[in-house]
Chain A
Amino acid sequence: MAEVSLQGVTKTFGNEKALDNVTMTVPDGSFVVLLGPTGAGKTTTLRIVSGLDIPDTGKVMIGGVDMAGLTPAQRDVTMVFQQYSLYPHLTVRQNLEFPLKSPILRTPQNVIDQKIGEVAEILQISHKLDNKATALSGGEMQRVSIGRALVRQPSVYLMDEPLSSLDAKLRADLRVELKNIQANSGATLLYVTHDQIEAMTMATHVGVLDNGKLIQFGTPREIYENPVSVYAASRLGQPRVNILPADLFSDAPFGARDIGLRPEHIIQGEGEDSMVTRVERLGDQTRLHLVYKDHDIITVTDAHTTLSGGDIVKIRPNNPYYFDADGARVA
């Protein structure tokens, strides 16, 4: 287990700037989730840490050691690829054994068998061990590919959207399981996703990436409660933060162009009138779609509300975020 740090890492592919001067420290034993839409540079970050890609400028350190010039094998990392990348000519068991049998590890067979038994149990693939890797469903392939990372004890685990093609129940199970494995083993884990629930539930730290730049790095709470920009604010929270012109409400601070309202920033029953357009009952919560001065607002209300379309609700902002014209937070 080790700390991973990136210092001023820049990577371009042709004219595309994939990473732009990213500096970030993944503390030892932490679970760091990189959030961002497609093309933000999340996967490139993983590939640079793993050594599959070499940064144009900047340094990657793992456990305090500069990784420049080291091959992926020498870095002692594992990676779960988004595309599974199971070896198609091998069985599930042989796929799981593959990293353990590498010339670097040369694990004795009894240790291999024991390890594979454990991992297969956790990932619920014990009954598939002797199948060909190609004879699995998408979800099973993804679990085998996670298993191939878990059989080892590397200095850092890298995972690229490992839960993206699992069904909802399995995804929820594995979220808990991955978090347990990481917490119990004290492993350092760098995890890429665009699923904010995964970020909120598993991460000790979240890095928000946009267009190759690291916008914000901190605990999920910090990023949720104290986002540095409109972009960071929109990454977390469901329903999403409402971004409205700041002058819609009174007493906006100087320089603010937009106001960001999360549901908890909207006090209902006080202030000015807005009209309910739709009530979405999700079971544990009920979402309220409102129109206020021609602007749509989505917020959350009591699960057993009696409101319905056409009703009038008074609303008032409470400690909202204010952003300037560039989207940066001003208050």
Chain B
Amino acid sequence: MSFSVTEPTNGTKWFAGILVVAYAVITIIPLLWIIATGLKSPADSISYPPVVVFEPTLEGYVNLFTDRTRATEDMLEEAGPPQTWYEEIARERGTIISGPSRYGERFLNSVIIGFGSTALCMILGTAAAYAFSRFRVPLKDDLLFFILSTRMMPPIAVAIPIFLMFRNLGLNDTHLGMILLYTAVNLSLSVWLLKGFIDEIPIEYEEAALIDGYTRFQAFYKVVLPQAATGIASTAIFCLIFAWNEYAFAVLLTSGTAQTAPPFIPNIIGVNGKDWPAVAAGATIFLVPVMVFTVLLRKHLLRGITFGAVRK
């Protein structure tokens, strides 16, 4: 498939290449900086001027996943020599590991809430988008506008009503509450995006399936869904990124059981105030799921839209 009639000249190719590389470098530097900070010692992490070459240590990661107490002579004697590599790192700072930190739980909360709301959003969004695309819905245009209008202000503008509502419904600090909230915020985007994708799928495929002996739902499931996969995948990535990174509502509505990683990470306290290497380590690990999800769905994102089997 070619998009332009003439092959670009070498000069154009070079120019485009340099532009892309420059853009990639600019966007990737902060990411590399965070990853590097996660491997620095606390002193290196806050030194000025910043150090670029440093001796890497896993202290940040150890601090991220553990709680530690300052050890007295007696305690050290009682505990004996360090058993593991991470205990050894803790001992070097004169501390003893007292147990795992809450990062694991918070991370798991993020996974449950992020992926849960994305899944719910895709199910509801695809069904609604299909109905808007194919059926005669009364007041269709008004409804679609209304759905879009829910995104015309920042979601946090309704924080107080939502806070009160959640308190009355007992949804404060629950997984279900956060899943419902993120689904509500993302749904308008996903209905609109998915409607666009489903509109592109010619209705003749479903008609053919109806005649081939399938019910409307089976035709939707067997014929429309596979062709909407590209659209569903890209919409899912958008929804996941929002739910995964959401900070304000998470601060406001979660504190204990359902707290996600974003409000937790910046508040990791080390021996001397903020433990920057641990914060950076937490952020680095936090990036991984979205990256994996995006890479897994990459095939769908790049495949583009199938066309050609219906003569227009």
Contacts and interface: CB of A to CB of B under 8 A. Distances in A.
Do the two chains belong together in a single complex? yes
B309 interface: yes
Interface size bracket, A side? 20 to 34
Q: Give chain A's interface secondary structure class.
A: loop
A134 B309 CA distance: 5
A83 B202 CA distance: 10
A82 B202 CA distance: 13
A300 interface: no
Contacts of A82: 311
Contacts, number: 83
A89 B213 contact: no
B202 A98 contact: no
Contacts of B202: 83, 85
Interface string B191-211: 000000000001011011111
B69 interface: no
Interface size bracket, B side? 20 to 34
Contact of B311 (A83, A103, A104): A83
Contacts of A89: 226-227, 306
A88 B309 CA distance: 6
Given A52-B211, A73-B215, A89-B227, A134 B204 contact: no
Contacts of A148: 208, 212
B218 interface: yes
A79 B212 CA distance: 8
A78 B211 contact: yes
Interface string A55-92: 00000000000000001110001110111111111000
A146 to B, nearest CB: 13
A203 B209 CA distance: 28
Contacts of B288: none
Contacts of B215: 71, 73, 103
A187 interface: no
B29 to A, nearest CB: 40
B1 to A, nearest CB: 12
Given A52-B207, A79-B208, A103-B218, A85 B309 contact: yes
Interface string A104-148: 110000000000000000000000000001100010010000001
Contact of A85 (B204, B214, B216): B204
A99 interface: yes
Interface string A227-263: 0000000000000000000000000000000000000
Nearest to A164: B311
B310 interface: yes
Interface of A: 50-52, 71-73, 77-79, 81-89, 98-99, 102-105, 133-134, 138, 141, 148, 165
